[in-house]
Amino acid sequence: MQPLFLKPVFKERIWGGTALQTEFGYEIPTDTTGECWAISAHPNGPSIIENGTFSGMALDELWCKNPELFGNPKEEVFPLLTKILDANADLSVQVHPEDDYAKVHENGDLGKTECWYILDCKEGAEMIFGHNAKTKEEYIQQINEGRWDELLRRVKIKPGDFFYVPSGTIHALCEGTLVLETQQSSDTTYRVYDYNRKDAEGNLRELHLEKAIDVTTVPHQVAGVTPVVEELENVTITTFVQSDFFSVYKWDVKGKAAFSYTDHYLLLSVINGDGTFNHNGEKYSLNKGTHFIVPVGVDQFEIAGDCELIVSHT
């Protein structure tokens, strides 16, 4: 049993930039690279295992062929997706469906509840999070009349903030934001408003108003989260959320910290610093931008060094 280190997949986006290279040292395909799919088994961009027995295998294939690594799960598909997003320009205002709606309308894709850990952002950065309409009629009317300033709620953000974004929540990352996103493994987005931007060929991107109106929660429900901080030996663990879809934590390791997880596989992303992952006499190096899975069976391990990780499990 070994940890599974993963090779990320990059996606070009109209709003992307170069921060994935300058901040994380990744080789990015273009100067408008918006997304790093860091831990993914989604058919639109599965990660490849880079080490050990399963080297070269895609994560979706591993999920099917070796379910014991994941505790013989009941889910048909790997349920989570970890991304890093470089919003060098505003993202379209969007909303995602929940599972039942996506199943019927999106060929069995999962719904998408997501959450964001703000890795970095420019001074005074904002994001769009929710709306001000009190009824669906008001919501539809404000969309039709393009009263976006009135309709959309904006909130100030800073590095280290965490936001839980349940399906049905209108949202958008804004310019100058670098985010680690943990989400359900889904690629279904309904675009509500795209600032009337045109792509290189002069085309507007498609909107999906009807579906967006169907799935938006009205009135907006604030899903506030209160992080809980726990000091253990050589590690500070911040619990951001424990929901039906995922639990997300930050581990701040300083020195040598021992962990014991027997009933979960874990998704881990190093967001700062360096260290090693020690298990069974083997040492694996951890650097900023390393993403890996600790399968069921690797239940006692140690992380040594000075590093911060975002960790999630179902």
Residues carrying an active site annotation: 191
**Phi and psi of 32, rounded to 5°?**
-125, 60
Terminal Cα-to-Cα distance of the chain (whole angstroms): 20
Cα torsion through 278, 280, 283, 286, rounded to 10: -40
Angle at 276 between CA 50 and CA 11, to 5 degrees: 40
Q: How far is CA 222 from the centre of its chain?
A: 19
For 138, what's the count of Cα atoms within 13 Å in the CB-facing half-sphere? 12
C-alpha separations of 43 from 9, 46, 288, 308 in Å:
12, 6, 26, 29
Task: Identify whether 43 is preceded by a cis peptide bond (ω within 30 of 0).
Answer: no
In angstroms, the CA 40 to CA 186 distance is 10
In angstroms, the CA 142 to CA 310 distance is 38
Q: 272, 297 in Cβ contact below 8 A?
A: no
Look up tokens 């709003």; give the residue. Answer: 15
Q: 218, 132 in Cβ contact below 8 A?
A: no
CB atoms within 10 A of CB 79: 19
